[in-house]
Amino acid sequence: MMKFLKLESSEKIISTFISILAGMLFGLIIMLIVNPSMAFGGFSAILLAGVSDGMYGFGEVLFNAAPLILTGLAIAFAFKTGLFNIGASGQLMIGAFMAVWIGVTWTWVPAPIHWIVAILGGIFGGMVWVLIPALLKAYRNVHEVVSTIMMNYIAMYASKMLIEATIYDSVRQESNSVLNGARIPTFFLDQIFDNPRLNGGILIAILTGAIIYIVLEKTTFGFQLKAVGFNRDAAKYAGINDKKNIVYSLLISGGIAGLAGAVIYLVPGTGMRLETTYVINGYGFQGIAVALLGMSNPIGTIFSGLFLGYIEASNQELQSWDFKREIIDIITASIIYFSAFTLYFQKYARKIISKIGKKDGETNA
């Protein structure tokens, strides 16, 4: 049994790498079509941007990866419990507003804990926004894909109205800046990586991933959540409260998405601009790619978030090769597309593993 599980895990890892490779090659083909003379230079920028600038470049990777990891964890948690929370973008936007609103207006909160309170507000905002879809799924069996994606559009306009009504700076045309005490501390990471933008968001993301892994894999609560996801009727027959666990699952997923919103905006010089609220935040959909690449495993999601954060770090360097950042979105979307063929790629992964096993057997013989 253990041998089978290890084999299955190896197949998934290999198929994931095949998906990444296929997506990267597709991106290179697009670059060759768009600008053949600059294609290989731009592609090398994508591959090397995270390491070419030394510690600063790696710090940029960590800064970009933090929200990607968190949105990926939000999606992956729902996946693990048999649910598809496609409303992470809306939950992120409401969580971001709550975090910024607390960071701007709650001046009475002591500075050392203000950022913690603001983060908790972001988590609460995400949970509140997913509550209606959670109740509809649990008690009326309304598919969560439909209800959560509709909540995205409501969040898009609601966040704009809330910003204008409460924390709007008409001069800068964005939300007011959060107080210094409400900003996420750097924990000396900005000095270690010589990157002034880097804060403790990456530590929060990694800690969240570790907590989710423990909850899902080491606790009775996590077992019940997964049991309901695998087979709701069987779990109910076994005495597990299926409705309650569905609600808990989506609330946790929404809370993590709200946490991502707080991590994005509780930094210096990053206000919520009104024009960004006219479109659905892309992090929620990027989180799907992160979760798929991470095979819905919390630890795998951390590494896949770091990988996509690495690609995002090439944004500035790409412009010097006459490419727009949209090429990064194309590569990410391609990886998502090829990830859908994971089961197909696993057939080839199985063949590769079997060939390696045969060679080892012949060598030992």
For range 45-51, the mean pLDDT: 81
- For 129-196, the DSSP string reads HHHHHHHHHHHH---HHHHHHHHHHHHHHHHHHHHHHHSEETTTTEEPPPPGGGSPP-TTHHHHTT-T
For range 67-85, the mean pLDDT: 93
pLDDT at 110: 93
Q: 236-255, pLDDT tens digit by residue? A: 888 999 999 999 999 999 99
pLDDT at 2: 39
Q: 142-177, pLDDT tens digit by residue? A: 999 999 999 998 998 898 899 889 988 877 777 888
Across 274-278, 280-284, 358-362, the highest mean pLDDT is recorded for 280-284
Lowest mean pLDDT among 226-235, 242-251, 275-284: 275-284
Host H or E run for residue 221: helix 220-230
Do residues 60 and 53 lie in contact, with contact meaning Cβ atoms separated by under 8 Å?
A: yes
Q: 83-104, pLDDT tens digit by residue? A: 999 999 999 999 999 999 999 9
Q: How many CA atoms lie within 13 A of 163 on its CB side?
A: 30
Q: Which of 282, 291, 289 is nearest to 336 (CA)?
A: 289
Q: Which two tokens stand for residue 201?
A: 């968001």
Q: Which of 95, 151, 168, 102 is nearest to 126 (CA)?
A: 95
Model confidence, pTM: 0.88
Task: Give the bridge partners for 273, in sequence order.
Answer: 174
For range 182-211, the mean pLDDT: 92
Q: 26-41, pLDDT tens digit by residue? A: 999 999 998 888 889 8
> How does residue 7 score in pLDDT terms, banded at 50, 70 and 90?
very low
For range 6-16, the mean pLDDT: 62
Q: Which of 284, 244, 248, 255 is nearest to 127 (CA)?
A: 255
Buried/exposed code over 154-187 (b: 16+ C-beta within 10 A; e: otherwise): ebbebbbebbeeebbeeeeebbbbbbebbbbebe
Mean of per-residue pLDDT scores for the chain: 85
In the chain, where are the structural domains located? 52-313
Q: For the chain, percent helix, then strand, then coil, each to nearest 5?
A: 80, 0, 20
For range 274-297, the mean pLDDT: 75
The structural architecture, per CATH, of the domain 52-313 is: Orthogonal Bundle (1.10)
d(CA 7, CA 241): 34
- For 38-100, the DSSP string reads HHHHHHHHHHHHHHHTHHHHHHHHHHHHHHHHHHHHHHHHHHHTT---TTHHHHHHHHHHHHH
Residues in Cβ contact with 56 at an 8 Å cutoff, skipping those fewer than 6 apart: 193, 194, 195
Assess whether pLDDT exceeds 60 at residue 265.
yes
> How does residue 353 score in pLDDT terms, banded at 50, 70 and 90?
low
User: What percentage of residues in the chain have a pLDDT greater than 90?
Assistant: 45
pLDDT at 242: 92
Do residues 19 and 348 lie in contact, with contact meaning Cβ atoms separated by under 8 Å?
A: no
For range 1-13, the mean pLDDT: 50
